[in-house]
Amino acid sequence: MNRIVTLIFFLFTNIAVAQQLTLKGSIRDADGFPIPFATIVKEGSSIGTSANKEGHFNLSLPEGRHQLSISAVGYKQKTITVKPPQHDSLIIHLDGEIYTLQEVVIGNREDPAYSIIRKAIKKRPYYLKETGPYHAHVYIKGLQRLIKAPKKFFGVDMNEIGEEIGLDSARKGIIYLSESESKITVNPPKDFKEEMISSKISGDNKAFSFNRASELQLNFYENYQHIVEGLSNRPFISPIADNALAYYRYQYLGTAEEKGKTIIKIKVIPKRKAEPLYKGNIYIIEGEWRIHSVNFLLDKESSINFVDSLNLKQLYTEVTENKWMPSNIQLDFKAGLLGFQVGGYFTAIYQNYTFIDAPDKRLFREVLSISGDVNKKDSLYWAKNRPVPLSPEEQKDYIAKDSLYRFHQSKAYLDSIDRKNNRFKPLTFLTSGYNYRNRYKKESIRFNGLLTSMLFNSVEGLAINYGINYNRQLDSGLNRYFRINGRIRYGFANKHLNGIVSTDLPVKNQTFVLSGGRDVLDLNNQGSLPTLLNSLYTLFVGENYQKLYEKTFASIAWSNTLPGNIKISLQAEWSNRHWLPNASGFTFRDRNSNKLTSNNPLQPDADVPLFTDNKSTKVRVGLSYDFSNRYAMYPTGKRYLVSKYPTFGIQYTKGIKNVLGSDVDYDLLTTSVQKNNMGLGLYGKVSFSVSAGSFFNNKQLFYPDYKHFNGNRILLVDQQLSSFLALDYYQYSTPSNFVEAHMEYNLGGMFVSKVPLLRKLKLEELIGLHYLHTSELSNYSELHVGLQWKMIRLMYAHSRSAAQPLNQTNTLRIALKLF
């Protein structure tokens, strides 16, 4: 009994000794104004925190005396001694840092900044790997605020939307507020693993924060930084990259002393506009030539996308002797478009660094782990563990948005929203369709627009292809949906009525698709000629490029992702196929009717059947693998990350004779290798696709069974990576062997950005090569060059064929990028 009492006394004594006390304070400048996001660190450790936007901070410390270092970019570091709870609230003033200029000879001599930068560049590879493997705790807060919004936007009342999302009467306020905590394991320079501990989003207690420590790895010891996907067409160049002197000018601004170290301030100036370059200041520690901190700006002159400006601040701290680590990363941004102005920030606090032995490489296969309970932490947990205190505005937003969220999830509210949005509007139904939704039951029915369902071709004449889709969410966690899609198609000229129905059945990580009915399909199953464009060309120009046939079918398909990111698919189909003749010669101008060709692409002057009626039973098996062994684990399951290697695929199709009356007997084996947007650093990116195949048995097959290619013969192109720009849609389809290759090089504005009148458009240069070999065509090749603005392309293409060496073509194409 005495031992138990002694043990209890011992436990309570140690709990009391280890009790954590909260130190509160405020960081201000010499004039009393708050210094946002200053860093507070306990000396000799990685225990620390950051001030919020208003300069306030909280720091948990054990009882006793502690020395704290307070730092902020552009201010003189300060060291103070505190003793909680004696000092439970502090106001700490930081003086602006004064950088003393050393005596420099003015004249033709090089600015001393260049010598310093060269030394930093020389040490860059060492500091990139210096720390070795480590653990750390990362807290991230993200906030986005609507600063300005119009009263109306394309006829939509923005006051009403603002009220729904919690904005004030002037349509201003926080539109996104989130916090997250993560534990990271890093083995420099590339291996990274993140385990999210907690996540909180204002106004949605079921969602997971977008904040990722992996997205805020601003390492200026790397030659290039990507920062945010899509922010720039090319990665940004570090001011101490190996080739930095070719891109930057430097200006020595002076030195300051900090804890016996000399900090050198250097101004970084881009040599050229419209290049992915920083402007601002970098601070270097003399003698060690390592980065102390940075304060950089990216703006329109840096050719950034979707934001007007992005300010980056990063501060390093010495967590152990001669090991400096990031303690704070701050991103502030502003953006404006179409009358909207948005501003916000992301801040990351790094603390509790622990240096470890090199982990097993297999540990880093799981790059991110988010369990289902990380968003279940209550307000008491956050009040205790949040290193950066909330501002009054943020506190108010959490309370208001959480209340608003509960109201928005109520059946009464959801029903009221549905009653309003489900009102039938005849004009809207004609143009864009009608959507009936029941938010409470998480189901919807979509009716297509009547006018947008109309089409025209020479086989059916005027036709309607009308669809209805039903969706129901099976669970909110896994985002699995049960879907039924149906379409009815009627041609007013040939008087054929067709209809199909299909359904998606998700089963865990697998998907089953059942479909059947009768439909009108393109003889070239690549879908290279959009229906709308074919309708316009037929009616206005008299060029009926699309060739069609009718198919009655039943199909079942299954797909799954196996361990190791091997994707497998299986499909079985029975069909009865019927060739269709032209039934209409109508065009808007009578003289264009003479230009219409038959529905037989191989005999355009004679409307004779391309193939006899036939039945087909076939089975298709496909496998693909991209060598990706890195994945993120979400509550919804494992998601593999995009591999740096190409994706390899193999597909086998078997046409089975005499099964269900089948007339076909063939075997087709195809292989492929493909990679999109393979980065080349500053030199843009490359996409390529190569495929080859063989009908090693072609005893009996019909034209729809041939291998078809993605051709094009019109000005406007829906361009995929496998698209040819001038190849006939049907003439070169093959029942034998083939080799097909495509490559495109996107230079990302490398040259256009240097042209003053063009650089503001942020155009990207394109160079492409295309090749096709079949026994019928021999060797066919295309070269294209062009410019891309966002998703729109203008391209010039030159093509030639070995089978017809005199038949070389030069064409102009306007394309929409689809890859």
Residue pLDDT, tens place only, 336-387: 887 888 899 999 999 889 999 989 888 999 999 988 888 888 888 888 888 8
CA 171 to chain centre: 28
| Tens-place pLDDT, residues 111-158 | 999 999 999 999 999 999 888 899 999 999 999 988 888 887 777 777
Residue 244: C-alpha distances to residues 190, 238, 248, 254, 709 (Å): 21, 7, 6, 21, 45
pLDDT for residue 16 is more than 60: no
d(CA 114, CA 104): 13
- Least confident range of 81-90, 203-212, 219-228, 298-307: 203-212
Question: What is the pLDDT, as a whole number, of residue 526?
Answer: 87
Please determine, looking at this structure, whether the domain spanning 2-94 carries the CATH number 2.60.40.1120.
Answer: yes
| Tens-place pLDDT, residues 651-666 | 999 999 999 999 999 9
CB atoms within 10 A of CB 781: 16
Strand partners, 40: 49, 70
Strand partners, 351: 137
d(CA 311, CA 332): 5
**Bigger pLDDT: 805 vs 763:** 763
Q: In the predicted model, what is the mean pLDDT of the chain?
A: 88
- Confidence category of residue 543, pLDDT binned at 50, 70, 90: very high
**Bigger pLDDT: 765 vs 129:** 765
| Tens-place pLDDT, residues 715-742 | 988 899 999 999 999 999 999 999 999 9
Question: What is the pLDDT, as a whole number, of residue 389?
Answer: 87
Question: What is the pLDDT, as a whole number, of residue 410?
Answer: 80
Residue 143 one-letter amino acid: L
At how many degrees (to 10) do helices 392-408 and 411-421 cross? 80
Upper half-sphere CA count for residue 600 (Cβ side, 13 Å): 14
Q: Which residues are within 8 A (CB) of 401 and not within 5 positions of it... i.e. 6 or more apart?
A: 166, 174, 177, 202, 203
pLDDT for residue 7 is more than 50: no
The pTM assigned to this predicted structure is 0.86
What share of the chain has pLDDT > 70, as a percent?
94
- Confidence category of residue 576, pLDDT binned at 50, 70, 90: very high
- Least Cα distance to 93 among 156, 31, 168 occurs for 31
- State the span(s) of the chain assigned CATH 2.60.40.1120: 2-94
d(CA 402, CA 200): 11
Is 630 in contact with 191 (CB distance < 8 Å)?
no
**Stretch 449-466: mean pLDDT:** 96
In this structure, what token pair is assigned to residue 106?
A: 């003015």
Question: What is the pLDDT, as a whole number, of residue 65?
Answer: 83
- Confidence category of residue 282, pLDDT binned at 50, 70, 90: very high
Q: Tell me which H or E stretch contains 349.
A: strand 340-355
**Stretch 478-501: mean pLDDT:** 92
Query: Most confidently modeled of 273-277, 423-427, 502-506, 583-587?
Result: 583-587
pLDDT for residue 24 is more than 90: no
- Least confident range of 232-241, 254-263, 668-677, 704-713: 254-263
Question: What is the pLDDT, as a whole number, of residue 262?
Answer: 92
pLDDT for residue 794 is more than 90: yes
CA 421 to chain centre: 30
d(CA 404, CA 79): 44
**Bigger pLDDT: 618 vs 38:** 618
d(CA 523, CA 578): 11
**Bigger pLDDT: 253 vs 475:** 253
| Tens-place pLDDT, residues 170-196 | 788 888 899 999 999 999 888 999 999
d(CA 45, CA 292): 17
